[in-house]
Structure 1
Amino acid sequence: MDKVDVIVLGAGASGLMCAATAAYRGRKVVVLDHANKAGKKILMSGGGRCNFTNMDAAPKHFLSDNPHFCISALHRYSAQDFVDLVDRHGLEYVEKAPGQLFCEHSAKDLLDILLTEVEWSGAELKLNTKIHQVECQEGKTLVKTSQGDFLCDSLVVATGGLSIPTMGATGFGYEIAQQIGHDILPTRASLVPITVQPDRKAQLAELSGIACDIAATAKGVTFQEPMLFTHRGVSGPSILQITNFWQPGESLSINIAPMLSLDDLMSIRQHSPKKSYEGFLSTLLPKRLVELIKTEFPWLTERSAQTSNEQIETLFGYLSNFDIAPNGTEGYRTAEVTLGGVNTKEVSSKTFESQKQPGVYFIGEVLDVTGWLGGYNFQWAWASGFCAGQYV
């Protein structure tokens, strides 16, 4: 049996961060993961270039049943702190959108930095290790694995959520939490594409591959960013963002011309009476989308002077509440994150230690803390991993 100070379950973003931080303090740390490679989600995120943080990461960009929980960690380990770390290693990165930092070349460059930190700190990484059993004993935790038994003072659960099971995601972290008496808040796939009703799917499939700027609104929250039509429904930043708030069966509003007001549409008839509304919309929207709109409004090809107020009002209503007929989401298969998880009211916001079982810690996505799209979830991984690493 191997006796160590700290066992970290999960070689993802938060787990690697925590392991290096704790080992630099002189703790004897081993990281266990059932996968054959560390940081698989890091490697595939952001189209293989990993949006590793957001310089605007603040509590307002995170969802939780306990919204104050994330404040302390985000304050103690900021986006700038992580940027300072990768700067020391010479990582080349770019700011694609305000605050959103991506690796300039490959996410592998970032993962190499994390693995280098783990190596330099003296932490040990064991992959291809199946966890058979976790037993909390008097002041110790026994972890039985396919590579032998390990006894530790501190167990860190950094196993992530249920998103992208093909990458090895499981509900194992939730099982450990429940085993020691924790409440698990309902989980669901989020930051995920939306599927549409079969009849609408056939129509929208003709638009597959085209994108346009929209405003998606659910529960009073609006995101104005691009939407991408797919063979299964819709995706793109605005859609992924709104799934943090929208659930199937609830109201979802899609405005495909958020830059337009009713007065704007009315003024076309006044200022350009010979121009058609088809011509006007073609300057704002993709041609194939305008063709679809024409099937609903054949009069778009006529001169604007010939249109009535009622026609223009109906068109405006169609554009501002474009019916995608949402059916559901693509689920965990393509979701970037899992909403819900271990109830943070039962975990210390300072140390990340369980209030149910001393010596057990929860960090990263396994907790009920979910960020918006745009690097926020990685920043939560770094912050929670670093902060827990100070105490394990």
Structure 2
Amino acid sequence: MIFSDVVIIGAGAAGLMAAATAGYRGRSVTVVDMGKKPGRKILISGGGRCNFTNENAGPENYLCQNPHFTKSALSRYSAQDFIELVDRHGLNYHHKTLGQLFCDDSAQDIVDILLTECEWAGVNIAMRSEVIAISKNETGYIVQTSGESYQCESLVVASGGLTMPKLGASPMGYKIAEKFGLSVLPTTAALVPFTLHEHDKQKFDGLSGISIFTEIFSEDGTTFKENILFTHRGLSGPAVLQISSFWQAGQAVTINLLPESSIDSLITEWRETSPQKSLKNLLSTVLPKRFIEALVKQKDISDKAINQISNDEITYLGQYLHNWQIKPNGTEGYRTAEVTLGGVNTDELSSKTFEAKKSKGLFFIGEVIDVTGWLGGYNFQFAWSSGAACGQAC
């Protein structure tokens, strides 16, 4: 039996942050993880460059049954705090649109920073350690792994959600919560591409790789302005990933294909400058040509000279292009999703320390709980914030 003040299950973003924070407080900390190496999800994020935070991260950027839950942690460990940490380690990074920060070189740099912090804080990391059983006794918790047994005062569950099972995702964290009497909200894949019904797939066959800047709306009124991307299976791109968190099965999404201009004003202009030109050719100057050709082929849009288009047709075009509706067949699921929606009910946890109200010394942080950020570095920031808050208390 190995004695450790704190045992953390999961060597991901939240777990490593909590480990270093607790270690610096003088706590003996052991991190256990069934994988071969730490930070696997960090390594593949952001196309291998890790969108490690978002300068604009605030409670409004998170989905949670309790919208106030994230306020305390985000205010006590902000994006600026994490930026100061990576600056101290000399990380080279760059800003992208909408407050996103990415590594210049590799996501490995973020993992290296976290591992260095853990080393300086005296943290022990045991990889290839599968958790077999957990029990509670008078002094805390006993964690039985495939390699060792640990006795700890504080047990931190940072095991993540169900996304990307090939990286070892499992429902273990939810099962631990339920074992100790905590409620777990239904889970679903979020920040995930849509699949299309067969008739729509056929309609847009050959458009894979085409990207369009749009404004996208869910049925609950949530809206994002970013690109959509046609794929072999359906629709992806930042706008689709964002709206997927707000989409329910059976619902349609509405897409404004020309969010920066009005088709009415474009046609008025074209009638004066190019009256003999075809609608197809002129629309192809503001939207991808292959996309317009597909709409014409399906007779969604008629191909006429601009000076032959009636006012009724202009009204129809405006409705079609500014309120293009598509009903997804579903999503690509946990295999390609970036995060899991739902999880351990935040009503069961302290928003200040992330300790379970029903079980002293038991903590849940990161993706395993019912907090899901927008696309763009928000989920990593919650991992840092929840990890830091827990590390100060466990």
- TM-score class, shorter: over 0.9
CA contact (8 A) 1:160 1:365 kept: yes
- Give me the whole-angstrom Cα distance separating, in 2, the residues matched to 1:131 and 1:296: 55
> Partner amino acid for 1:380?
F
- Residue aligning to 1:248: 249
> Partner amino acid for 2:353?
T
CA contact (8 A) 1:188 1:339 kept: yes
- Give me the whole-angstrom Cα distance separating, in 1, the residues matched to 2:327 and 2:174: 34
- Residue aligning to 2:29: 29
CA contact (8 A) 2:301 2:317 kept: no
- Residue aligning to 1:389: 391
- Residue aligning to 1:327: 329
CA drift at 1:323 = 3.9
CA drift at 1:258 = 2.0
- Give me the whole-angstrom Cα distance separating, in 1, the residues matched to 2:136 and 2:290: 60
- Give me the whole-angstrom Cα distance separating, in 2, the residues matched to 1:199 and 1:276: 27
The answer to whether structure 1 residue 310 and structure 2 residue 315 are counterparts is no
* TM-aligned CA distance change 1:305 to 1:386, over 3 Å: same
CA contact (8 A) 1:184 1:341 kept: yes
- Give me the whole-angstrom Cα distance separating, in 1, the residues matched to 2:315 and 2:254: 17
SS of aligned partner of 1:56: coil
- Residue aligning to 1:295: 297
CA contact (8 A) 2:35 2:129 kept: yes
- Give me the whole-angstrom Cα distance separating, in 2, the residues matched to 1:172 and 1:366: 9
TM-score by length of 1: 0.97
- Residue aligning to 1:198: 198
CA contact (8 A) 1:74 1:380 kept: yes
CA drift at 1:265 = 4.4
SS of aligned partner of 2:204: helix
- Residue aligning to 2:373: 371
Runs of 4+ residues deviating >6 angstroms:
none
CA contact (8 A) 1:205 1:232 kept: no
The answer to whether structure 1 residue 277 and structure 2 residue 279 are counterparts is yes
CA contact (8 A) 1:213 1:256 kept: yes
- Residue aligning to 2:158: 158
> Partner amino acid for 1:311?
E
CA drift at 1:356 = 1.0
The answer to whether structure 1 residue 263 and structure 2 residue 301 are counterparts is no
- Residue aligning to 1:6: 6
- Residue aligning to 1:54: 54
CA drift at 1:202 = 1.9
CA drift at 1:262 = 4.7
CA contact (8 A) 2:264 2:314 kept: no
> Partner amino acid for 1:107?
A
- Give me the whole-angstrom Cα distance separating, in 2, the residues matched to 1:148 and 1:124: 13
> Partner amino acid for 1:309?
N
- Give me the whole-angstrom Cα distance separating, in 2, the residues matched to 1:153 and 1:172: 20
CA drift at 1:263 = 2.7
The answer to whether structure 1 residue 354 and structure 2 residue 359 are counterparts is no
CA drift at 1:144 = 0.6
- Residue aligning to 1:118: 118
> Partner amino acid for 2:291?
L
- Residue aligning to 1:183: 183
> Partner amino acid for 2:99?
G
- Residue aligning to 2:240: 239
- Give me the whole-angstrom Cα distance separating, in 2, the residues matched to 1:256 and 1:110: 37
CA drift at 1:320 = 2.2
CA contact (8 A) 2:203 2:298 kept: no
CA contact (8 A) 2:11 2:33 kept: yes
Task: Write out per-residue CA displacement over residues 3-40 of structure 1, whole angstroms, 9 at most, x where no aligned residue.
Answer: 11000000000000000000011000000000011000
Task: Write out per-residue CA displacement over residues 366-387 of structure 1, whole angstroms, 9 at most, x where no aligned residue.
Answer: 1111100000000000000001
- Give me the whole-angstrom Cα distance separating, in 2, the residues matched to 1:197 and 1:323: 13
- Residue aligning to 2:72: 72
- Give me the whole-angstrom Cα distance separating, in 1, the residues matched to 2:174 and 2:100: 30
- Give me the whole-angstrom Cα distance separating, in 2, the residues matched to 1:347 and 1:293: 51
CA contact (8 A) 1:162 1:332 kept: yes
- Residue aligning to 2:227: 226
- Give me the whole-angstrom Cα distance separating, in 2, the residues matched to 1:53 and 1:205: 36
SS of aligned partner of 2:382: helix
- Give me the whole-angstrom Cα distance separating, in 1, the residues matched to 2:221 and 2:147: 51
- Residue aligning to 2:18: 18
> Partner amino acid for 1:229?
F
CA drift at 1:112 = 0.6
CA contact (8 A) 1:15 1:31 kept: yes
Equivalent position to 1:380, from 379, 382, 385: 382
CA contact (8 A) 2:264 2:318 kept: no
% identical equivalent positions:
54
The CA RMSD measured in Å over matched residues stands at 1.4
CA contact (8 A) 2:251 2:328 kept: no
- Give me the whole-angstrom Cα distance separating, in 1, the residues matched to 2:183 and 2:378: 25
- Give me the whole-angstrom Cα distance separating, in 1, the residues matched to 2:300 and 2:370: 49
- Give me the whole-angstrom Cα distance separating, in 2, the residues matched to 1:194 and 1:298: 22
- Give me the whole-angstrom Cα distance separating, in 1, the residues matched to 2:328 and 2:255: 10
TM-score by length of 2: 0.97
- Give me the whole-angstrom Cα distance separating, in 2, the residues matched to 1:301 and 1:36: 58
- Residue aligning to 1:127: 127
- Give me the whole-angstrom Cα distance separating, in 2, the residues matched to 1:222 and 1:276: 32
